[in-house]
Chain A
Amino acid sequence: KQEVTQIPAALSVPEGENLVLNCSFTDSAIYNLQWFRQDPGKGLTSLLLIQSSQREQTSGRLNASLDKSSGRSTLYIAASQPGDSATYLCAQGDDYKLSFGAGTTVTVRA
């Protein structure tokens, strides 16, 4: 059974600080690793997708890395803003489904 773990469950930082969100997974034979953002009462929005052959992906202030040997992925958000406050979920993709972590809820204080 694939397990995806995200620690910490919640994080609060002052505006401008860099965010580091961690995700660990148990199945090294993954197809891909994805990061999603979820705002309260809303669905999920895809942020970054890292294929198993890749080491990292970048989009604007966001950078995600993938280390299959250690079973870890990290999402970096540079120069955080109050608008970055949300829950961030990572998900391991295999041949037909996604397995999700429980998420890290981020609060960026103005």
Chain B
Amino acid sequence: DAGITQSPRHKVTETGTPVTLRCHQTENHRYMYWYRQDPGHGLRLIHYSYGVKDTDKGEVSDGYSVSRSKTEDFLLTLESATSSQTSVYFCAISESGQGYGYTFGSGTRLTVV
């Protein structure tokens, strides 16, 4: 989607290794989110950010950490990847944070073997 880029698009990693996913935006939006999507669960919020260095946990944050040192970048780190973290990860941005005006990235498909 225009204005938001996720990298990598696909990644296969081994159990126990650290993994970092990157979300980059060019819209200068204040709010950034990381979601994961699994069959039968829809999208579930992992972490979100409401400004540089301001982050908070979502409903499925265990095993994940995030950082936002610049407005445009929001990083999601799996410190020690597990098979249960095999999923599709979506980043989203929002100017208002009030549940609307979201733009989603194209997703990162992560496989932990």
Interface residues of A (CB under 8 A from B): 1, 4, 6, 9, 31-32, 34, 41-46, 49, 51, 89, 91-103
Contacts and interface: CB of A to CB of B under 8 A. Distances in A.
Contacts of B58: 97
Given A43-B107, A97-B58, A102 B1 contact: no
B96 to A, nearest CB: 10
A51 B107 CA distance: 27
A32 B99 contact: yes
Interface residues of B, number: 24
Nearest to B50: A96
B98 A42 contact: no
Most chain B CB atoms below 10 A, which of A31, A32, A34, A100: A100
A95 B98 CA distance: 5
Contact of A96 (B42, B48, B105, B107): B48
Contacts of B107: 41-43
B43 A95 contact: no
Nearest to A9: B40
A50 B48 CA distance: 23
A98 B102 CA distance: 9
